[in-house]
Structure 1
Amino acid sequence: MTAPTPPDGQKSGDQAPQDYDPWRPPPPGQAEPYRAPYPMAPMGVVQPRNGMGVTALVLGIVGVVLGLLVIVFWISWLPALLAVIFGVVGLSQVRKGLATNRGMALAGVILGVVGLLTALGGGLFTVMAVKRAVDDRRAKVEQRAKDAEEAKASESAAEKARHLSFGESYTFENGLKVTVAKPQPYTPDDYVLGHAKGNRAVQVTVSVVNTGKERVEVETGLPNVSDADGASTELVIDGSGRQKVITGYVLPGRKAVGKYAFSLPPDAADRIEVEFSPDAMRWQDAYWSGPTD
């Protein structure tokens, strides 16, 4: 190959003039000057593929952080699982020489496993907490139902205890022990109120004993009498002086006796019921019943 001919008036080896432009086309009739080729990158050099390891590390951190949060721990398993998958792929690329960040990929796998374990632990904790709450709620409901049944049974037993036969006694919570004797026939005087001709009159005797240590006042000294069909009777008032109303206080260990007469219509049932309470505003009535004959 022949060297290019220098420009007019310039010998080979001389410096080019200042206005010389190597990129300017040569004058007509002259050959193209030689230009050295640009340097080329060496063939066969591959850029490392470190994306999988970086992604695994980021997802592993996200999975662990979400797993530590009480509210969103239930979604931490997804980034943690992806961290394990991307980390394994990244380690595989490192073994093949396609990546260089083995530490990132390995850290992503480890953090992913930790995130999965955290998610599993949070799930178990939540299940146990929910189960404990459900069990406690069920126990409270069962206990409430049991208490209601016991209260109902106790109320039923108390109601049953307040229904007695004539001659039996019932002790109220204020310590007054009340006994109603079997009614006896009663013949009113000629001057009487509450008794019509043809009716049948009976006398009811109520005994009150103070079993406590303090005196107790009898607020309600009149019993209420009805027949077996629920028909009320009338209180008989006459001038015989045989009737006595319990009033005032009953001293400890003392006894007060009240006697009352009631008029029953001719068609009244053979059984009657006497209702009495020493204080109707505080204590429920007790009931005595039985035949009149």
Structure 2
Amino acid sequence: MSYDTQVPPAAPRQAMRNGLGTAALILGIIGTLSGLIPLLFWLAGTLGVIALILGLVGKGRVKRGEANNKGVTLTGAILGLVSLILATVGLIITVTAVSDAVEEIDKSIKDAAPQDPTKAGGSSGDAGTTDKGTADKGKGLADGDSSVYDDKLKITVSDPKAYTASEYAVGHTKGNKAYQVTVVVENGGTKKFDAVGVLLSARAGAEGVEAEQIFDEKVGAGFQGSVLPGKKATLTVAFDTPKAAKTLSVEVNPGFDYNPSQWELKLG
């Protein structure tokens, strides 16, 4: 009598679960490269955390024999940690840079703000730049007063004088009056000042009606070119006002980086 001896089939080999280690390596590499750019600290930090977690979980699988990519998993976890370190450094660099930029902007705004005209050091008798020092804080400057900025730029507006517009003048309405003022820009700083950006506007009377600027063969052109340190530029400008207007408010804005200054002038 013979017996057939059957050998039981071998148990199927368990597939290795190497996905977490591979994912940790890929994310760790991307996170590390992102961390080299300070502005991408947020991306490096996010990928670093994920890579570190996947690497640690993958390492546990290797210990249990569920995965066999120990080197890949360990490298992914290390790169995840490196990404976190680079993200921290990038965050510090970014915050410092933003803080410095804000300080520079605040400084620029402060430098552009006009000083109290009562503290300006104009010299008496210097035509167009004499600082009477009679303006109060919160009020417009008077004729002859100077607005002095922290960069030593000095703007002075003279008293208004009656102006006779030509027959073909633009901006003058028949029946209205015309007044001219002289605006002096003095550069007391160390850098040249671009006078082209100086803007002028005016309002007349108690109602604050817009006083249109007059253009003819004598007035109307704006400041041209630059003003070198220690030099001045003078411009005569005329405005059209209602016949009954008793005051003229003139605003001068030296440029984008400056705050405008106003003069409250009495019309004769």
TM-score range, shorter chain: 0.3 to 0.5
What TM-score comes out, normalization by structure 2 length? 0.47
Question: What TM-score do the two structures reach when normalised by structure 1?
Answer: 0.43
